[in-house]
């Protein structure tokens, strides 16, 4: 193993099975408090830390800031849910999917904008008196969405790239340079998991809302089908359990896995 964080599903095949050998796993294990459900706990492995560390922290969100989150998928929603921890006054969720935008409101977004609508950019700028947002968090991973993030940020602002890009992106350095734009990016370290765990335990971060669908191992093909049609099924994160969950409970002796990559596009 090379020692970096994102191994399964990236450098080697991912795994969803009853038993998996994970070298050095004891270096990153955290005991779940009794009042933290399995649904909440599984989101602390990477979804919440990714949105928080690579979006909010790396974007240097500060009290009073106007923050735009482009992409209201699970990682974007995690950034929305944690931006308020650092005092963001306005959190604007931007997406093509109106269902996910409505979900964003339940995670802490103050405003939503449909990016495919006419005048979407003007709608965002109107919320900033035309100056642009203080922080743009890009949570999709395409050249188009990164360009959107750069276009929305004010001079001296920060663009936090969270999305995983599968192709090269062209940057207009002459324009960005004169506007003093800072761009950050990186791989989640999950070093904030202990802190986020405490916040989840105190109901300060709604991690459980990310788990929208539940399946057992014998339904794994249905789980992947549901996740692949997220726009239709309104899925955020799909939970695959070893055995059926106890009735009315998100807790139990189940082993959970997330269907999808560790740092996904929404």
Any bridge partners for residue 12, and if so which? Answer: 8
Asked if residue 58 belongs to a domain, the reply is: yes
Q: Give me the pLDDT at residue 5, please.
A: 58
Contacts of 192 (CB under 8 A, 6+ apart): 49, 52, 53, 57
The residue range of the domain holding 116 is 47-185
Question: What are the tokens at 114?
Answer: 């449909």
In angstroms, the CA 64 to CA 57 distance is 15
Q: How far apart are the first and last CA of the chain?
A: 28
The sheet with strand 211-216 has its strands ordered as: 211-216, 237-241, 256-258
Q: Give me the pLDDT at residue 263, please.
A: 43
Q: Give me the pLDDT at residue 77, please.
A: 97
CATH at 89 = 3.40.50.720
Q: Give me the pLDDT at residue 17, please.
A: 67
The pTM of this model reads: 0.86
Q: Give me the pLDDT at residue 141, please.
A: 95
Asked if residue 64 belongs to a domain, the reply is: yes
Asked if residue 168 belongs to a domain, the reply is: yes
Asked if residue 77 belongs to a domain, the reply is: yes
Low-confidence residues in the chain, pLDDT < 50: 1, 250-266
Q: Give me the pLDDT at residue 194, please.
A: 92
Any bridge partners for residue 138, and if so which? Answer: 70, 161
Q: Give me the pLDDT at residue 10, please.
A: 72
What's the total number of domains in the chain?
1
């Amino acid at each position: 193993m090379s020692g970096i964080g994102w191994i399964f599903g990236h450098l080697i095949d991912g795994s969803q099975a009853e038993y998996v050998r994970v070298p050095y796993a004891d270096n990153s294990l955290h005991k779940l408090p009794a009042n933290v459900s399995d649904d909440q706990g599984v989101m602390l492995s990477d979804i919440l830390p990714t949105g928080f560390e690579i979006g909010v922290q790396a974007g240097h969100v500060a009290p009073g800031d106007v923050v735009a989150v482009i992409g209201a998928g699970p990682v974007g929603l995690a950034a929305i849910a944690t931006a308020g921890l650092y005092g963001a006054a306005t959190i604007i969720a931007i997406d093509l999917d109106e269902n996910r935008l409505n979900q964003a409101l339940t995670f802490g977004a103050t405003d939503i904008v449909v990016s495919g609508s006419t005048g979407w950019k003007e709608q965002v700028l109107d919320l900033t008196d035309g100056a642009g947002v203080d922080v743009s968090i890009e949570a999709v991973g395409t050249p188009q969405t990164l360009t959107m993030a750069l276009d929305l940020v004010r001079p001296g602002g920060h663009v936090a790239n969270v999305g995983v890009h599968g192709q090269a992106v062209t940057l207009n350095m002459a324009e960005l340079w004169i506007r003093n734009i800072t761009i950050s990016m990186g791989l989640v370290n999950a070093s904030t998991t202990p802190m986020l765990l405490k916040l989840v335990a105190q109901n300060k971060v709604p991690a459980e809302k990310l788990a929208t669908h539940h399946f057992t191992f014998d339904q794994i093909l249905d789980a992947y089908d549901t996740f692949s049609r997220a726009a239709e099924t309104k899925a955020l994160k799909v939970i695959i359990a070893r055995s059926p969950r106890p009735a009315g409970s998100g807790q139990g002796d189940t082993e959970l896995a997330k269907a999808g990559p560790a740092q996904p596009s929404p």
